[in-house]
Amino acid sequence: MDRFIFHLAFPVGNIEQTKAFYIDGLGCEAGRESPHSLIMNLYGHQIVAQVTNEPLTPQKGIYPRHFGLVFSQEEDWEALCDRARSQNLTFFQQPKRRFAETPLDHRTFFLSDPFHNLLEFKFYTQPSAVFGESELTLVGDRA
Protein backbone atom coordinates (compact mmCIF):
# COMPACT_ATOMS: atom_id res chain seq x y z
CA MET A 1 0.00 0.00 0.00
CA ASP A 2 1.15 3.53 -0.72
CA ARG A 3 2.25 5.58 2.25
CA PHE A 4 -0.93 7.65 2.06
CA ILE A 5 -4.27 7.10 0.41
CA PHE A 6 -7.14 9.55 0.28
CA HIS A 7 -10.45 8.75 2.02
CA LEU A 8 -13.78 10.37 1.22
CA ALA A 9 -17.27 9.53 2.50
CA PHE A 10 -20.29 10.85 0.61
CA PRO A 11 -24.09 10.49 0.75
CA VAL A 12 -26.13 8.13 -1.41
CA GLY A 13 -29.74 6.98 -1.50
CA ASN A 14 -29.16 3.24 -1.86
CA ILE A 15 -26.40 0.69 -2.37
CA GLU A 16 -27.66 -0.92 -5.59
CA GLN A 17 -27.66 2.32 -7.60
CA THR A 18 -24.29 3.15 -6.04
CA LYS A 19 -22.86 -0.14 -7.33
CA ALA A 20 -24.32 0.43 -10.79
CA PHE A 21 -22.67 3.86 -11.11
CA TYR A 22 -19.38 3.42 -9.27
CA ILE A 23 -18.53 -0.25 -9.82
CA ASP A 24 -20.19 -1.09 -13.15
CA GLY A 25 -19.92 2.43 -14.56
CA LEU A 26 -16.67 3.93 -13.30
CA GLY A 27 -14.88 0.64 -12.67
CA CYS A 28 -14.31 1.00 -8.92
CA GLU A 29 -13.53 -2.15 -6.98
CA ALA A 30 -15.99 -3.07 -4.24
CA GLY A 31 -14.78 -3.55 -0.70
CA ARG A 32 -16.74 -4.12 2.48
CA GLU A 33 -20.48 -3.64 2.26
CA SER A 34 -23.34 -3.29 4.69
CA PRO A 35 -26.96 -2.25 4.10
CA HIS A 36 -25.88 1.31 4.98
CA SER A 37 -22.44 1.72 3.40
CA LEU A 38 -20.11 0.53 0.69
CA ILE A 39 -16.34 0.93 0.63
CA MET A 40 -14.82 1.22 -2.84
CA ASN A 41 -11.39 1.55 -4.41
CA LEU A 42 -11.25 4.49 -6.85
CA TYR A 43 -7.79 4.28 -8.46
CA GLY A 44 -6.15 3.36 -5.15
CA HIS A 45 -8.17 5.75 -2.98
CA GLN A 46 -10.88 4.79 -0.51
CA ILE A 47 -14.31 6.24 -1.14
CA VAL A 48 -17.24 5.28 1.06
CA ALA A 49 -20.86 5.61 0.05
CA GLN A 50 -23.03 6.24 3.11
CA VAL A 51 -26.79 5.74 2.77
CA THR A 52 -28.83 8.63 4.08
CA ASN A 53 -32.56 9.22 4.40
CA GLU A 54 -32.06 12.97 4.08
CA PRO A 55 -33.07 14.58 0.79
CA LEU A 56 -30.32 14.54 -1.85
CA THR A 57 -30.86 17.55 -4.07
CA PRO A 58 -28.92 18.66 -7.15
CA GLN A 59 -26.50 21.55 -6.96
CA LYS A 60 -27.04 24.39 -9.40
CA GLY A 61 -23.46 24.13 -10.60
CA ILE A 62 -20.10 22.54 -9.87
CA TYR A 63 -19.48 24.84 -6.91
CA PRO A 64 -19.18 24.61 -4.01
CA ARG A 65 -18.88 20.81 -3.79
CA HIS A 66 -17.41 18.11 -5.99
CA PHE A 67 -14.65 15.50 -5.82
CA GLY A 68 -12.61 13.49 -8.28
CA LEU A 69 -9.15 12.70 -9.57
CA VAL A 70 -6.25 14.41 -11.29
CA PHE A 71 -4.67 12.01 -13.77
CA SER A 72 -0.93 12.11 -14.43
CA GLN A 73 -1.30 10.47 -17.85
CA GLU A 74 -3.60 11.89 -20.52
CA GLU A 75 -4.38 8.45 -21.94
CA ASP A 76 -5.77 7.39 -18.53
CA TRP A 77 -8.02 10.48 -18.49
CA GLU A 78 -9.19 9.68 -22.03
CA ALA A 79 -9.83 6.03 -21.12
CA LEU A 80 -12.08 7.00 -18.21
CA CYS A 81 -13.89 9.55 -20.36
CA ASP A 82 -14.48 6.87 -23.01
CA ARG A 83 -15.66 4.42 -20.34
CA ALA A 84 -18.10 6.99 -18.92
CA ARG A 85 -19.55 7.49 -22.40
CA SER A 86 -19.80 3.77 -23.16
CA GLN A 87 -21.48 3.14 -19.78
CA ASN A 88 -23.96 6.00 -20.44
CA LEU A 89 -22.99 7.83 -17.28
CA THR A 90 -24.45 11.31 -16.85
CA PHE A 91 -22.08 14.11 -17.83
CA PHE A 92 -22.76 17.23 -15.76
CA GLN A 93 -20.19 19.02 -17.94
CA GLN A 94 -18.87 17.56 -21.17
CA PRO A 95 -15.12 17.16 -21.63
CA LYS A 96 -13.41 20.43 -22.36
CA ARG A 97 -10.12 22.25 -22.13
CA ARG A 98 -9.65 25.03 -19.56
CA PHE A 99 -7.04 27.78 -19.66
CA ALA A 100 -5.57 26.66 -22.99
CA GLU A 101 -2.08 27.87 -23.86
CA THR A 102 -1.32 28.86 -20.26
CA PRO A 103 0.64 27.01 -17.57
CA LEU A 104 -2.76 25.97 -16.13
CA ASP A 105 -3.93 24.25 -19.34
CA HIS A 106 -5.95 21.15 -18.49
CA ARG A 107 -8.68 18.86 -19.72
CA THR A 108 -11.69 18.25 -17.50
CA PHE A 109 -15.13 16.67 -17.36
CA PHE A 110 -17.75 16.33 -14.65
CA LEU A 111 -20.08 13.41 -13.97
CA SER A 112 -23.18 13.35 -11.80
CA ASP A 113 -23.96 10.18 -9.88
CA PRO A 114 -27.59 9.09 -9.28
CA PHE A 115 -27.58 11.01 -5.98
CA HIS A 116 -26.39 14.36 -7.39
CA ASN A 117 -22.78 13.99 -6.21
CA LEU A 118 -20.52 15.67 -8.76
CA LEU A 119 -17.21 14.13 -9.78
CA GLU A 120 -14.48 15.94 -11.72
CA PHE A 121 -11.68 14.25 -13.62
CA LYS A 122 -8.70 16.31 -14.83
CA PHE A 123 -5.45 16.05 -16.73
CA TYR A 124 -2.98 18.97 -16.58
CA THR A 125 -0.58 19.39 -19.49
CA GLN A 126 1.98 20.86 -17.06
CA PRO A 127 2.43 18.83 -13.84
CA SER A 128 3.50 22.02 -12.04
CA ALA A 129 -0.10 23.28 -12.29
CA VAL A 130 -1.44 20.63 -9.92
CA PHE A 131 -0.02 22.32 -6.79
CA GLY A 132 2.18 25.08 -8.17
CA GLU A 133 1.94 28.11 -10.40
CA SER A 134 0.86 30.07 -7.32
CA GLU A 135 1.51 33.40 -9.02
CA LEU A 136 -1.53 32.66 -11.22
CA THR A 137 -5.00 33.20 -9.77
CA LEU A 138 -7.22 31.25 -12.16
CA VAL A 139 -9.12 28.47 -10.39
CA GLY A 140 -12.10 26.84 -12.08
CA ASP A 141 -14.82 28.53 -14.09
CA ARG A 142 -16.35 30.66 -11.38
CA ALA A 143 -17.09 34.20 -12.53
- pLDDT tens digit string along 26-71? 999 999 999 999 999 999 999 999 999 999 999 999 998 999 999 9
pLDDT reading at 14 higher than 90: yes
pLDDT reading at 134 higher than 90: no
Containing 42, the helix (H) or strand (E) segment is strand 37-42
Q: What average pLDDT score do residues 8-18 get?
A: 98
Q: Residue 102: how many CA atoms within 13 Å on its side-chain side? A: 15
What per-residue string of b and e applies to 63-98 under the rule 16 or more CB within 10 Å gives b?
A: eeebebbbbeeeeebeebbeebeeeebeebeeeeee
What are the residues facing 29 on neighbouring strands? 41
